[in-house]
Amino acid sequence: MKKTTKQFGFLCIRNRILFFSLIITLIPVLAMGWLLNDMMESTVTEKCQQKLEHISTIIQRELSLWFKERKYDLYIFSKSFVITENYRESIRVAEAGELTNGNTPVSIRMVETYLGSVQNQFEYYSNIILCNSDGEVVAASQADLPLEEFKLPENFKEQLEIDNYFHSAVYFSEEYGAPMMLIGTLLFNEKHDDYDGLLAIEVNLIKIREILNSALEGNAWESKPVAALLQLGNHKLFLTSEETTVPNEAEISINFDHPYSVLQEYLNSWGEKTIGLLAPMKEFHWAILVSENYAEVYDQVLASRNRNLFIICLLGFAVGLLAWLLARQIIKPLQSITSAARQVADGDLNVHLERSNNDELGLATHVFNDMVGELRENQETLMQLATTDSLTSLANRKKIMAFLLSQFELFTRYQTNFSILMMDIDHFKEVNDTYGHQTGDMVLAGIGEILRDNVRNIDAVGRYGGEEFLVILPESEKDDAMKTAQRIGDKISAVLFQSDKRVVRVTASIGVATISPMDKSEGDLVKRADEALYKAKESGRNKCIYLHSDQESWEEELESSTE
């Protein structure tokens, strides 16, 4: 037994060489595998965060636009002659004591009939309510429902003092089986410079689910995220992108004290491990929660780690058999891979290893090069996505504003003049409402192509937001800028956009401004071009307006003659 121990134990030279070879080989390989796994996990985490941030940004923008439309509807309703005149008539009748037996005044019944007809035209309005100045219900489009069901928020007067609008917290309606919210505004009495009452709309928030799903489905994600809306007052979900979720029962374990827009792990309402981030909707005291299943996000990382472990074990077995022959050949590739891995870890992705062997280290080198290549391609793709508008393929607002800042700095240093065009598509909302958003997107894409074809190579064109575009013309004075603006306006008015056998024609209003020593920042120039654009729209649209730096002298080009 003692002899066997000497032959096959640790004192055996063969075993000591094998042990030492395995140690000096496996340690760097394991370190490399850990580094690669850590890099991949970091990359997946960063990609997931950018994806969820992108989705939450889209949802924030679309929700803001949706509620601006609701506020605009409310503003239009509050200006209705039927409502204001009949309501004041009811006040006069009540003050004169002409109403008998507690009957509802004819004027109020007319208001209720009108509110009912208006409500029927909007599927996401469940009730339109007229209240007096104290918040007591006077008339409603759903007059058969108990009036005490509709309670204005306790702080509605404080909200009205801020911006003439108020909104309630989200509540769940048993009748509609959906979350609801009241928004309202003042009913002004122009004769007395005061308000007579309030007009409120009960909005069915179930329609917001379409916005959530649109933001999720608008991109080809490998795994579909989930979006949800929470009310920060009680930290309860009231709406999710998944119809199977019961909003008023859903609870999550997310930490609301965690910083916004930072990934965190938590258990969702089904007890599943989830990774997500919160984004605030400050105007309504909401939070947007965008999340993904943790296992789906990190599935590739786990698979890669297992694959790396398998390769390491196989490599260790081979090294144990051929250690004394391959020692010198192993050291150099390992040093190259480790050095390259450190460069990648430090952010240098311009790394390429020459594959000198056709063994496991050669395979590891090839895998490493492929991984670094994919990281480099992903970085370039992310940079492209971060600076390009996906619909028009023009520069997005961030990129075009960065170019504007660089032009302003050149002007500040070298007095190199330049001009900008602020362009807005006339009546674009009517195009969307009449022909649909797909046609509207087709028109915006066509406008982007027209802009690219009608500017110089040194010019920059970007989508400023919605249907607004910003064109920067380096080394251009007023005359050149106005010619460019007129040429673009003529091209747009002459193009016929075809969609589903229908022809759509649009025009554009363009505000033109040239940099001036009076401009303290690029924002002053943008503001002047914006004012010129506003003047163009105010004076009939389909025009190019130039605003001098003194902001008082206007010069106007004639409307496009193309019919």
pLDDT at 358 over 80: no
pLDDT at 204 over 50: yes
* Residue-level pLDDT at 329: 58
Cα Rg for the chain, rounded, in angstroms? Answer: 33
pLDDT at 91 over 70: yes
- Residue 227, sorted as left (phi over 0), alpha (psi -120 to 50) or beta, turns out to be beta
Among 52-56, 472-476, 558-562, name the most confident range.
Answer: 472-476
Cα–Cα dist 305/313, whole Å: 12
Report in angstroms the alpha-carbon separations of 346 from 301, 341, 351, 374, 388: 20, 9, 11, 17, 27
Model confidence at 53, pLDDT cuts 50, 70, 90, reads confident
* Residue-level pLDDT at 423: 95
Domains 79-203 and 397-556 share a fold: no
Q: Which of residues 407 and 29 earns the better pLDDT score?
A: 407
* Residue-level pLDDT at 404: 93
Q: Which of residues 394 and 384 earns the better pLDDT score?
A: 394
* Residue-level pLDDT at 560: 40
pLDDT at 13 over 60: no
Model confidence at 190, pLDDT cuts 50, 70, 90, reads low
Active site residue 467: yes
8-state DSSP, 44: H
Beta carbons of 228 and 289 less than 8 angstroms apart? yes
* Residue-level pLDDT at 100: 60
Report in angstroms the alpha-carbon separations of 52 from 216, 245, 263, 277, 391: 9, 20, 9, 7, 20
Cα–Cα dist 136/133, whole Å: 7
Model confidence at 222, pLDDT cuts 50, 70, 90, reads low
Cα–Cα dist 192/188, whole Å: 9
Tell me the pLDDT tens digit for each residue of 242-277: 876 544 545 666 777 766 777 888 777 677 788 888
Q: Which of residues 61 and 380 earns the better pLDDT score?
A: 61
Among 117-126, 442-451, 493-502, name the most confident range.
Answer: 442-451
Q: In the chain, what are the domain boundaries?
A: 22-67+298-383, 79-203, 222-293, 397-556
Q: Which residues of 315-341 are buried (b: 16+ CB within 10 A; e: fewer)?
A: bbeebeeebeebeeebeebbebbeebb
The pLDDT of 114-125, averaged and rounded, is: 87
Model confidence at 3, pLDDT cuts 50, 70, 90, reads very low
Model confidence at 563, pLDDT cuts 50, 70, 90, reads very low
Task: Exactly one of 112, 360, 467, 522 is catalytic; name it.
Answer: 467
pLDDT at 101 over 70: no
Cα–Cα dist 172/294, whole Å: 30
Cα–Cα dist 99/107, whole Å: 11
Q: Which of residues 231 and 551 earns the better pLDDT score?
A: 231
The pLDDT of 30-58, averaged and rounded, is: 81
Report in angstroms the alpha-carbon separations of 278 from 58, 229, 238: 13, 10, 15
Where is average pLDDT lowest: 361-375, 403-417, 436-450, 470-484? Answer: 361-375
Cα–Cα dist 437/175, whole Å: 32
Beta carbons of 541 and 445 less than 8 angstroms apart? no
Tell me the pLDDT tens digit for each residue of 291-349: 888 888 777 777 777 777 777 667 666 665 565 555 555 556 666 777 777 877 777 77
Percent of the chain with pLDDT over 70: 78
Where is average pLDDT lowest: 43-52, 189-198, 486-495? Answer: 189-198
Beta carbons of 323 and 24 less than 8 angstroms apart? no
* Residue-level pLDDT at 172: 84
What is 397-556's CATH superfamily?
Reverse transcriptase/Diguanylate cyclase domain (3.30.70.270)
Nearest CA to 287 out of 346, 321, 236 is that of: 236
* Residue-level pLDDT at 85: 85
* Residue-level pLDDT at 559: 42
pLDDT at 185 over 50: yes
Kindly report whether the global pTM for this prediction surpasses the value 0.85. no
* Residue-level pLDDT at 318: 64
Kindly tell me the sign of the dihedral angle through the C-alpha atoms of 366, 367, 372, 375.
positive
The pLDDT of 270-285, averaged and rounded, is: 82
Secondary structure E strands in 268-366: 273-281, 286-293
Tell me the pLDDT tens digit for each residue of 393-417: 899 999 999 999 999 999 999 999 9
Task: Kindly indicate whether the domain formed by 79-203 is annotated with CATH number 3.30.300.20.
Answer: no
Nearest CA to 353 out of 32, 31, 113, 25 is that of: 32
Tell me the pLDDT tens digit for each residue of 171-181: 888 877 888 88
Nearest CA to 487 out of 504, 473, 468, 503 is that of: 473
DSSP bridge pairs for 503: 498
* Residue-level pLDDT at 22: 67
